[in-house]
């Protein structure tokens, strides 16, 4: 019996040690929520839950056996970076749970507002409502805490047609509106045509056009006329070939210097090697996912993150 009890204790001790090792808490001063899915639009209940519990377990989307426990304690997290196309639910939940968010030193918003198009057919809030959301965030958190994105630019044709289409038809309207709110920068990119993006768009009757550099330059020259007119600078995300065009600079979507300004904390300016090689972002921890509850309900045609779905 003593031998039996010894082995039970021995193997239990090994299990506990392994379990603690697997769930060793990782601390990150910047939490990204999320490049992988639109958490502010669709996952606010989950977000409130994990903030209250003080941590979140994140499954590596490329190795599902690897789980990381990320601290969400206010003493460990200096700034949240939220990414969304629709902050309606975030604003609603923030108003009811302001004390949960206000315990952190800063919140930084990435807000994508493109022209309404058939490629974003499931967007819940109309364009002008989303522009009102942008204005509310600027008013509530300050202009430094909000980055405006027109992302991505998509050029395509319908199957069986030679007519070239895009999502740029409301570009000047949007730039005019955001400039009046005090926005001075716009982050943009051209759609990256990954195989699953091409497959999804073709399945939906659209044929994306793979633009060469000359074609991109021609489009940008017209867009720069508009942004210059309204005093808005264009910054390219992960597209180094565009940086020698006129006044276009490198985007730093998660920007240590800007976060220092928002939070008043010193932030280590370390490149995030977990992102694409041309990404200018400071290192952070992303707590989102691609599947299950994280599957983005916007279901945009051009999405690089969402699994293929017709």
Which helix (H) or strand (E) segment is 55 a member of? Answer: strand 55-60
Q: Which two tokens stand for residue 102?
A: 């206000």
Separation in Å, CA 226 to CA 176, 222, 230, 274? 9, 7, 7, 34
pLDDT value, residue 310: 55
**Contact in structure between 82 and 35 (CB atoms under 8 Å):** no
The packing angle between helices 88-96 and 127-141, to 10°, is 40
Q: What architecture does CATH give domain 25-294?
A: Alpha-Beta Barrel (3.20)
Query: What is the layout of strands, in order, in the sheet containing 206-208?
Result: 164-166, 155-158, 206-208
List for the chain the helix, strand, coil content (%; round to 5): 40, 20, 40
pLDDT value, residue 305: 83
pLDDT by residue for the chain (310 residues), tens only, comes to: 445 544 444 443 444 444 544 578 999 999 999 999 999 999 999 999 999 999 999 999 889 899 999 999 999 999 999 999 999 999 999 999 999 999 999 999 999 999 999 999 999 999 999 999 999 999 999 999 999 999 999 999 999 999 999 999 999 999 999 999 999 999 999 999 999 999 999 999 999 999 999 999 999 999 999 999 999 999 999 999 999 888 999 999 999 999 999 999 999 878 777 788 778 899 999 999 999 999 999 999 999 887 765 5
pLDDT value, residue 186: 98
**pTM for this entry:** 0.91
pLDDT value, residue 8: 43
pLDDT value, residue 279: 84
pLDDT value, residue 22: 59
């Amino acid at each position: 019996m003593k031998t039996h009890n010894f082995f039970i204790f021995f193997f239990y001790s090994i299990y506990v040690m392994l379990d603690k090792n697997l769930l060793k808490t990782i601390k990150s001063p910047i939490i990204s929520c999320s490049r992988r899915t639109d958490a502010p639009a669709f996952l606010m209940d989950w977000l409130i839950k994990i903030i209250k519990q003080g941590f979140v377990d994140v499954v590596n989307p490329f190795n599902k056996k690897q789980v990381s426990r990320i601290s969400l304690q206010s003493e460990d997290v200096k700034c949240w970076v939220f990414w969304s196309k629709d902050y309606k639910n975030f604003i609603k939940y923030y108003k009811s749970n302001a004390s949960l968010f206000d315990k952190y030193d800063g919140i930084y918003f990435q807000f994508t507002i493109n022209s309404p198009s058939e490629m974003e057919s499931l967007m819940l809030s109309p364009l002008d409502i989303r522009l009102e959301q942008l204005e509310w965030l600027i008013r509530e958190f300050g202009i430094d805490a909000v980055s405006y994105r027109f992302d991505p630019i998509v050029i395509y044709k319908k199957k069986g047609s030679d007519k070239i289409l895009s999502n740029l038809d409301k570009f000047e309207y949007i730039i005019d509106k955001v400039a009046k709110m005090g926005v001075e920068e716009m982050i943009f990119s051209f759609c990256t045509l990954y195989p699953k993006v091409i497959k999804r768009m073709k399945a939906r009757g659209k044929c994306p056009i793979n633009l060469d550099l000359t074609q991109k330059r021609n489009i940008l020259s017209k867009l720069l006329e508009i942004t210059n007119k309204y005093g808005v600078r264009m910054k390219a995300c992960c597209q180094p070939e565009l940086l020698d065009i006129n006044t276009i600079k490198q985007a730093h979507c998660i920007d240590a210097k800007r976060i220092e300004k928002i939070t008043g904390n010193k932030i280590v300016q370390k490149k995030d090697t977990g992102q694409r090689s041309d990404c200018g972002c400071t290192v952070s921890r992303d707590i989102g996912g691609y599947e299950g509850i994280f599957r983005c309900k916007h279901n945009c045609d051009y999405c690089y993150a969402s699994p293929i779905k017709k």
